[in-house]
Amino acid sequence: MKKTHIIIAFAVIIAIIIGLTIGFGMRGFVTRGDVGVVEVEGVILTSKYTVRDLKMFADDPSIKAVILRVDSPGGVVAASQEIYDQVAKIAEHKKVVVSMASVAASGAYYISLPADIICANPGTITGSISVIMDYPVFEELLDKIGIDFEVIKSREHKDVGAPYRHLTDEERELMQGVIMDVYEHFVDATAHARNLPRDSVVKFADGRILTGRQAKDIGLIDTLASFEQAVDITGDLVGIDEPFLVYPPKRMSLVDFFVEPVERLLMPRLQFLWH
């Protein structure tokens, strides 16, 4: 019985050696490693899930690189900025590749800027470097149904953007100043990340959308590639022949599912958003 075990063990060792020899002779040793994939889908209303997932991969030593898979028209400015900051932090010590799907416009383009390589499909909708704020005004409707608002405030601009009244000319000017300040930041970030003259960025930073091919021609992205090709590009960056893709668990409460769309409808927010 003991002799049988020895023979079996010896046969297994020989088989392993032969397999390694054949594999090495055909293509060398195959390197494998983990690549984290963080998906950003839909309107960016919050940063908490994306930032959580990015941090998880940043802290995991088994993750050699991160792919940010983006399919979004953009979203809230502050949330986009928080995701941008986390992508930039990861890019300091791990390779980050962005793979743009159908849409990666406005704030979704902004969060892509710190990546080492930005990939898009030829028909991806991207660009839309701009800022917008919109919110509903129910003043006439409230008048018709006889509802009035009594407002007590400390200073005159405390209720700017309230849905029960229109802006005054002075308030509109104030809000335009806020919009332009955020817009200038967007332009500066694009020019810096893409190594482009600021004046050339301003020429197409008027809210226009671009295809992936157009974006590549003017330097907004690095290459045209599908998701599978982006995976190969990521592997090449870190010396992995066969990247093993790791996805974070998805968790969203029922409260988040129902409340966030309502918040978006009612609350005035600065948005990097392609409509």
Distance, CA of 274 to CA of 186 (rounded, Å): 14
**Which of the residues 47, 72, 99, 106 is marked catalytic?**
106
| Count of C-beta atoms within a 10 Å radius of residue 99 | 29
Q: Which of 55, 62, 102, 158 is catalytic?
A: 158
How large is the angle between the packed helices 77-91 and 48-59, nearest 10 degrees?
Answer: 10
DSSP element (H, E) containing 27: helix 2-27
Catalytic residue at 2?
no
Question: What residue ranges in 137-241 does DSSP mark as E strands?
Answer: 209-211, 223-224
Short-list 85, 268, 113, 91, CA closest to 186: 113
107 touches 44 (CB < 8 A): yes
* Overall size of the chain counted in residues: 275
Per the listing, tokens 């940043």 go with 58
d(CA 212, CA 170): 40
Q: Is 158 a catalytic residue?
A: yes
Write out the catalytic residue numbers. Answer: 106, 158
